[in-house]
């Protein structure tokens, strides 16, 4: 997935949450997280699933990034996470509560 | 209906429950559509329900629907459509929604809004309903009154306000056809005044009652062009606040739609009497036996029944589909359309310009492009529209 030129950027203090009408859940039959929305479904890859499941409207982007880095014992995820969140915002999978 | 002489699909041997006609190893039926009832307060001329719905046997009981939900979920079904007829005419809808929610389905209610009182929407919300798709139908018998019908407009506005109040996204679906497509501007303004977030302008698909009425419903190329232009201008003005989708009728295309992603691939419909179908229109396909949830498990139906395996994969295909590189993209198009137009469900969908039957589609469009007198000026010159109701259904059975 690549961000289009119009993908919105997201600040590190923003607290993203799933878009209204969207639901994230683990589907054993598909061995994947899926994002469900009115009359549609997206099967997520592992990293998209891990990012979205942390977008609860309480954690900031910076907290989500450090949480992911701790969980997967790695560093330097911020750029990828923010780029994915930009795409997700554009598609209304995520929103930033006002 | 005027189908060509029905022909049984080649070599289809009916398989009894218990036996297996399994083709490959099917994935989960991700989409489950439960058509809870054929009862409907409306009589839309473009309804896709079978014209012989009056033949349908007794509706499934609450318990039977709950079993369908449980067995479907076990197979991996996750998107659930509740439709009909008008699903709100079932007074156990809240029970069905509650069980579906408990099982983990994402629940879409597809409704005309008639019968959606505040008490009911409150109960449905509490039961876990995820989404409401409000369809705007032509509920009057006077087609010319389509947009001036204040009764309908007021009802829809009231329902739209309830949908907002209970924090659902406002998704409006409007079926377009020859008799209303010139009013797209007014339809979009109406949607805007209802604060719709998504509007689907869906051109009629020609099955069931719509197929019966196709000569009167298919718009001309010029009407379609104008409607698309109006929609585009509206989008530019209205911006992102209201997303407008315009679904072109496939008769105007040169490649078929990937109908149901191929039969038996992701989609499972259960009709009011429990008949299970790989597509909501498939009951018309001759020579196939479709199983019933009353006497078979959903698992056997999905994996092993002949009705779900016959058009699974591509071994059923004939030329030009069989050797076509696009067969993995469109799966030969729609089996029902192939049957309705050519009399053989295994033919290529005649929408495809590689089909030797494509002229049937272009001839129909050419007829639609002919100017016609307004219905009010020559009411007797044309074949009358047939409204979807029980009486007409019974008379079409004869």
ipTM score: 0.86
Q: Tokens for B395?
A: 């008379």
CB–CB contact B108 A29 (8 Å): no
- Nearest-CA distance from A38 to chain B in Å? 6
What phi and psi values does residue B132 have, to the nearest 5 degrees?
-120, 125
Q: Is the pLDDT of residue A76 over 80?
A: yes
Tally Cβ neighbours within 10 Å of residue B369: 13
User: Radius of gyration (Cα) for chain B, nearest Å?
Assistant: 21
Q: What is the pLDDT of residue B381?
A: 47
- Taking CA atoms, what residue in B is nearest to A20? B169
CA A64: distance to chain centroid? Answer: 10
CB–CB contact A38 B108 (8 Å): yes
Going by C-beta distance under 8 Å and a sequence separation of 6 or more, which residues neighbour residue B236? none
Confidence of residue A86 (pLDDT cuts 50, 70, 90): very high
Which residues of chain B neighbour A30 with C-beta distances below 8 Å? 28, 30, 76
Q: B133 pairs with which residues across the strands?
A: B110, B171
Closest listed residue to residue B174, CA positions, set B147, B144, B141, B206: B147
How confident is the model over B298-333, as pLDDT tens digits?
Answer: 999 999 999 999 999 999 999 999 999 999 999 999
Q: Which residues of chain B have pLDDT under 50?
A: 1-17, 139-150, 378-381
Q: What is the pLDDT of residue B255?
A: 95
How confident is the model over A9-56, as pLDDT tens digits?
Answer: 788 899 999 998 899 999 999 999 999 998 889 999 999 999 999 999
| Structure-token match 């009862």, residue found | B39
Which one of B105, B106, B261 would you mutate to disrupt binding with A, by most A Cβ within 10 Å of its Cβ?
A: B106
**Read out DSSP for chain A?**
----TTPPP--TT---EEPTT-EEEEEGGGTEEEEEETTEEEEPPHHHHHHHTT-BSSS-HHHHHHHHHHHTT----HHHHHHHHHHHHHTTSEE---
* C-alpha to C-alpha distance for B223 and B136, rounded to whole angstroms: 20
């Amino acid at each position: 997935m690549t961000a289009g030129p119009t993908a919105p950027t997201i600040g590190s203090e923003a607290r993203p949450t799933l878009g209204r009408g969207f639901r994230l859940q683990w589907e054993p039959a598909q061995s994947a997280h899926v994002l469900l929305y009115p009359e549609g479904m997206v099967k997520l890859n592992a990293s998209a699933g891990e990012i979205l499941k942390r977008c609860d409207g309480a954690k900031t982007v910076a907290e989500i990034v450090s949480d992911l880095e701790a969980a997967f014992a790695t560093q330097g995820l911020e750029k990828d996470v923010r780029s994915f969140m930009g795409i997700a915002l554009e598609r209304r999978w995520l929103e930033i509560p006002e | 209906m005027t189908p060509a002489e029905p022909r049984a699909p080649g070599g289809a041997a009916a398989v009894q429950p218990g036996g297996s006609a399994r083709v490959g190893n099917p994935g989960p039926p991700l989409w489950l559509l439960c058509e809870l009832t054929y009862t409907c307060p409306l009589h839309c001329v473009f309804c896709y329900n079978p014209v012989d719905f009056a033949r349908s046997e007794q509706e499934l009981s609450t318990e039977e629907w709950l079993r369908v939900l449980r067995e479907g979920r076990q197979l991996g079904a996750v998107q659930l459509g509740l439709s009909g007829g008008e699903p709100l005419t079932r007074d156990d809808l809240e029970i069905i929604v509650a069980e579906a929610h408990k099982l983990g389905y994402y629940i879409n209610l597809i409704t005309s809004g008639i019968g959606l009182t505040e008490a009911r929407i409150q109960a449905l919300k509490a039961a876990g309903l995820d989404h409401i798709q409000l369809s705007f139908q032509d509920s009057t018998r006077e087609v010319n009154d389509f947009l001036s019908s204040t009764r309908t407009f007021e009802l829809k506005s009231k329902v739209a306000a309830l949908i907002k109040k209970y924090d659902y996204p406002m998704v409006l679906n409007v079926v377009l056809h020859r008799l209303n497509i010139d009013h797209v501007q007014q339809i979009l303004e109406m949607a805007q005044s209802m604060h719709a977030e998504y509007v689907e302008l869906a051109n009629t698909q020609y099955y069931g009652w719509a197929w019966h009425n196709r000569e009167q419903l298919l718009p001309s190329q010029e009407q379609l062009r104008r409607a698309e232009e109006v929609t585009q201008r509206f989008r530019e003005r209205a911006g992102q606040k209201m997303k407008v989708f315009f679904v072109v009728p496939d008769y105007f295309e040169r490649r078929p739609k990937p109908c149901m992603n191929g039969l038996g691939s992701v989609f499972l419909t259960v009709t009011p009497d429990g008949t299970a179908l790989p597509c909501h229109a498939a009951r018309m396909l001759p020579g196939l036996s479709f199983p019933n949830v009353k006497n078979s498990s959903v698992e056997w139906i999905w994996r092993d029944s002949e009705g779900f395996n016959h058009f699974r994969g591509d071994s059923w295909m004939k030329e030009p589909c069989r050797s076509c590189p696009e067969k993995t993209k469109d799966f030969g198009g729609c089996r029902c359309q192939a049957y309705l137009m050519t009399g053989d469900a295994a033919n290529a969908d005649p929408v495809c310009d590689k089909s030797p039957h494509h002229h049937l589609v272009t001839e129909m469009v050419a007829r639609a492009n002919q100017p016609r007198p307004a219905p009010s000026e020559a009411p007797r010159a044309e074949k009358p529209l047939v409204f979807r109701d029980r009486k007409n259904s019974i008379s079409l059975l004869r």
